[in-house]
Amino acid sequence: MEYSVDQIRRNLEIVGNRIKQASTRGDRDIADIKLIVVTKSRSTNMIQKAINTGAVYLGENYVEEAVAKKTEVGGDNQIEWHMIGHIQSRKARSVALNFDMIHSLDSLKLAVKLDRFSKEVKK
């Protein structure tokens, strides 16, 4: 299902208001909270619409899909890509190259690999 820019904007506003209310109830600073827009199974057209409405943090479950989407959407430095799915050890290099944040680290072995590849990327 494809949404219009107005529908996406409305949905982001609704979620943003809920986050603001929850942060007030929880005595949290709203500036410390990031809304991650999960783009799993969404077209690059939809992703571009979300970016155009102000989405900055994008979450993906699958490495290959994310790399393809990131390439097609473009290298906007404002966008922060988050890995939210399971990471196979053999894909650690690609994750280090293509994601800004990882939410799904599940082993020390993988952490060591990601650390090594991340250092290579920063050189």
Give the rounded percent of residues in the chain with a pLDDT score beyond 70.
Answer: 98
Query: pLDDT by residue (tens digit) across 79-116?
Result: 999 999 999 999 999 999 999 999 999 999 999 999 99
Picking from 82, 86, 119, 80, the residue whose alpha carbon sits closest to that of residue 105 is 86
Query: pLDDT by residue (tens digit) across 51-67?
Result: 999 999 999 999 999 99
What is the mean pLDDT of the segment spanning 37-58?
93
Tell me the whole-structure pTM to 2 decimals: 0.88
Q: What is the CATH number of the domain that holds 73?
A: 3.20.20.10
- Which tokens hold the place of 61? 């479950």
Residue 122 has pLDDT above 80, yes or no: no
Asked whether residue 86 is domain-assigned, the answer is yes
Asked whether residue 8 is domain-assigned, the answer is no
Burial 76-98 (b: 16+ CB within 10 A, else e): eeebebbbbbebeeebbbbbbeb
Asked whether residue 12 is domain-assigned, the answer is no
Asked whether residue 21 is domain-assigned, the answer is no
